[in-house]
Structure formats: structure tokens, C-alpha cells
Structure 1
Amino acid sequence: MKIAIISVSNKGQELAYDLKDLLDLDSTIIRCDLYHKNVKKYFPILFYEYDAIIAIMASGILVRSIAPLVESKVTDPAVINIDDNGQFVISTLSGHLGGANELANKVAGLIDATPVITTSTDVNKKLGIDVLANDLYLSIDNTKEILFFNKAILDGREISFTVNPNKNFEYLFEYLNNVTLEINVSIYYSSKVNEDEIHVSLDEHEMTLKERKIVAGIGCRRGKECKFIYGGLKKSLDDLKIMPSRVNMLTSAEIKKDERGILELSEKLNIPVSFVEIDKLKLFESSDVAKSEFVYSKFGIYGVCEPSALIMAGFDSKLIYKKTSYDGVTIAIAVSK
């Protein structure tokens, strides 16, 4: 998640600096930038350049600033509002699909504040269908049906999930078993359903949840054993709260194509691995990729795990886990649009 923090007062700016320092330590936060004052100038830019906006200001200023920019729960960024004293963290816009509710809880924990969540499913301890999709990195084909299904969940009605019997949906079952929010679901199997899809239905209403492609990029020292690479990957996935079975592909640079530890990991997890050509890595450009002079001095490229993950996740993909080191292993994770 790329986050912009914008403040208007000196006290708010001090809180912004402190919060940025804390968020920069989080591998799921890809970038965190600070802005101060000039809200009329900055908000139209931030709204389209960032996944989330943290506004440290009075709620009236925030509402008037974003009102002309709001378009859709599918495309609007997450917006949370914090008072100058850091007492309350309010999820204001895109609570589910944008991740504002989750971010509000995270930020509140970091600054010892009270999170304020107002979405109906959350306050009634129910699992919204859009929350499930967001948590599991699934796209929704018919977002107009979200309201119907969430109302049905609130009413305690049973909804149907239909999946392909040949696909490993362990991540879905584990999620449903462990989630603390309530949802009444029956699981059905049909070979007519695509392997990367979950069909949701109730009465005459239907929607399709489709897996966005999750790619784990791996870098490692020569000869690193599989168990150590797996350990780094598992820690990264735990931070994202997703299971290995949700990962669609492992990847690295072609200089690692004979790296036994990576090949063994692919076999162990039954996840395909693909190696990216050096020339593609040399040409790849992204402001979100960390550049390593050490890697460049050895291989002529500035990075392995981050650019490999982004390339294999496809055009317009984004990092959801920045390069993180685990004793000779580096992991980065990207997801398709």
C-alpha cells in the first residue's frame, strides 16, 4: 500500500512525522510520503496517486476536500481521518475494498488511539463479501451486487460458494474457519467453474470472485537451502495474512534458474516458478523498486525480487510486500490489478 499523510497544523505535522517513521518499518507499506497544508492543491493529486490517504485535520476540512473527488467504492482510495491529538482514527472512505478499516485499526494500534469503524457489517460482527474479497486479493466482477450480498449476510441468510474441484482452495477454507466475523456459507463444487474463480449466489443474484495473480519474488545467496527460503516466504505471507496456497507463482532472475533451494520450494509448495531474463530486469523501471548498488555491481541489475515479482504479475501490477531480508534471503510480493 502506498500512503500519503497530509496535515494542516504544526501539531498535526509532528504526528505525521512520527507516524511515517512507524509505517516505514512495515513491509506491507510500500511507500509513505508526507504533505503539509495546501489541501486544495494536494488532494486532487493524492486521490489518484496513492492507495490510501491519512488526513490529520478536522473532519470538516477533509469532507469538503474529498467530496468533489469521490467516484466509486471500487476505485476510490482508502481515506482515514485523525485528529491533531491522535486520539481517534476514523475510517472515512473505502472501508472495505480500499482497506480503510484495516488501515485505521493498524494506525490506531501504532499511535495508541481509538479506531472508529462505522460500516454495518463490521459493527454487527459480520463478514462482508467485499472484505473477504479484499483480504484474499480477489476481484469482483459485479460490484453492484455487493450491497445485496452484504445485506443477506447481515440478515443471517446462507449464501453459496461454488468452486472447481480440481483447484486447491485451502486458503479459502482456512480463512473462513479462522475469521472472527460471521458469515453463513455453503460450498459446492462444479467443473464448469474456472479454477481461478469463486461463484457466489443467492436467489437470482450472482457474482464472481476471481483470483488476482499473486507472485512472490525471491532473491537469495548462492546455495541457500530450501528451508531458509521457505522460512522467509512464510514470514512474509504471515504478515499479509495469506496462505502459501494463495500464491500463484514464484519467480526470480534467470541467474537463479539452477538454484536448488528455489526449485525445491516450488516442488514442495506445488507452485510454479518462472525466471525472468536479465535483459528484462535491466529495462524494467518502477519508482517503487528499491535499488541495490551491491546487486548491480555483481549482476548488472539493481534488484531481483521486486522487479521479478512485478514483471511476472503483469502490466499495472503493484507491490503488496516490499523487499524484506531474512538472513541471506530476500522476498517481495506483487499482485495483478
Structure 2
Amino acid sequence: MNKSIISWVGGKAKLMWLINLLAPPKYDRSIDVFGGSGTVTLNLDCPHNKMRVYNDFNGNLVNLMRCARERPLALIRELGFLTLNSRDDFEVFKKFINQEEFTEADNRRELELTEIMFEPPTAKQLKRLLRKRGKELGVKRAATYYKLLRYSFNSNGDTYGGKRCDLRRFFDDIWQFSSLFKDVIIENKDFEALIRQYDRETAFIYCDPPYYEAEGFYAVVFTEDDHKRLHDTLAGASGKVMVSYNNAPQIVKLYQDFYIFYTTRPNSMSKKEGDVYEELILTNYDPREFLPEKTGQLNLFSFLLNAVSEGEYKLIHEPKIKTNQEEAT
């Protein structure tokens, strides 16, 4: 697998085998709506000459991804300068990320003021200097956020984990990432606006939203209404849609108009040996139409429970197909 530059809450590395298995075999664009670590964008079986979109609503995460792609050497250099040796250092970095210091918005305001306070060419020269400082500030913010993730408990960026971490062993990952992500469109938008912008009949839309009743583990707020809004947006999509969720009865009820598959994976957040986490994969299409092409299966009705090399999965819900008479009424 292609490696992400970060660990991430709810990362999909251990579920990629099933995501790729159930994904449609052909599409001309992939949209990773809740991109997180970028693992799905990096490892979808999508030809790299097709359009790939990575999106996340977390501005600090998106800034890190952009810096890692566009300025990998500057990011690596900044990671070498920034030291994190204690809980106090961790809290200082959190203050910076929480915008208790000079921010990009402050920088933009200073750019606007140069137009008012100085006559050309002085204003032009100052704007050039401020843009340069803005880029440097973006790299510093990216390095700070990267360290918060690496040194925090379960990569939540909020609680100091107290473990030693030699960041030098990740420098090669950042360099490789810059090449792997070079043609990816990186966005920082609300999911509804993003889906409406990129949705096409030939699109594959993958969503990994904050899990139901587990929203507290994520940096971005996701409410009950957001879960409903996501479903309604995806229900009206023209492209093929896949959603991953935890196995919550509320989600099963909400997505009755989707095909729902059940699987388990090792629970990385549990200290109990052998503990597993129950996952759902939901699609607005029937993947059984594609499986013979992907797996060589000849009998579609044997699909309900299939053992594959990585694990097991089963179809637990199939949407009711309305007849012409039902649609008319």
C-alpha cells in the first residue's frame, strides 16, 4: 500500500481491500469527500490519469497536505527545527494551531493594508514579502500540526501521548507523498458543496464521515443533522456512491435506500487482544454486478458471505426496488 504521511482516527488502511473490492470497476473521477489521512485517495484502484479529488473540512489538515505535496523539503526542514520534548511544548503547539498567534488571516489583512498605506512600487514590494511570509507561516503551521498528530494519543492532536518519536524516519514518507499526490485536487469544503461541484454520472464518490456517536474523536464538529444532510445529499447523487460507517442501528435505518455490507477489522484503539470493530460499507449501487469481473466468481447468489484473503464480509440489507405501479402512486 501507498503510505500516508500521518496516522489518523478512523484511517482506512485495514479496510482498503473491501473498499476496492466493492468499488465500481470503471469511473473517470474519484472524490474522497472526508479525506483524512489520504489513505483512500492514495490506494483506490483508480487509474492515475483520471481526476482525483481529496477534500477535508479540517483546514489544518488540508494545509499539511498541500505543504507536503508542494513544499516537501521546506516542511522537512521545519520539522527538523521544531522541537517537542514535553507536555509543555505540546500545549504551546496547540495554542499556535488554535490561532492564538499570528495567522494566515492576519497576513491577508496586512496585504490589503499595503494597498492603502503605500504608493507603488513600495506596495508591490511589500506584498511580495508578505506573500513569502505567508508561505513560510503555512509551512510552520503544517509542521506544528504534523507534530501534534505524531505525539498525541491515538493521533487525535489533542492529548499528549508521552511517547518518544523520531520524526526523521518519516521524512522519506513525506517525499514519496509529494510525488503520489502531485495530480490530486485538494479541497477544503463542506461535503455538500463539494459533492454538488464534482458529482457526475461517471464519478465515484467515497465518504468516510465521522462515525455515529463517535464524533468526539474528530477535530471537526459533525452533528445529527449533518448525518441526515449527508444521506440526503448522497441519495440525490448522479454518480456511484460508497459510504463507510460504524455498525450503528441509526445508520442502518437512515440508509435503507442503500445496499449495506457488514465486516469487521482489528480495533486499533482497544487494549484488549483480538478485539474487533464492526464496520458498514453502504453503496447506492449493487456491487454484485461487478464482482465476477473482479474476483472470478460465477454464482452471484453465493455473495452473501465470501471469505477473501483479507477478511470476511456479508450483505445485510438490500434496498427494496419499487415497481412501476408503486412509483406511480
TM-score with structure 2 setting the length: 0.27
Specify which structure has the bigger relative contact order, considering alpha-carbon pairs within 8 angstroms and separated by 6 or more residues.
2
Larger radius of gyration: 2
Structure in which a larger fraction of residues adopt helix = 2
TM-score with structure 1 setting the length: 0.26
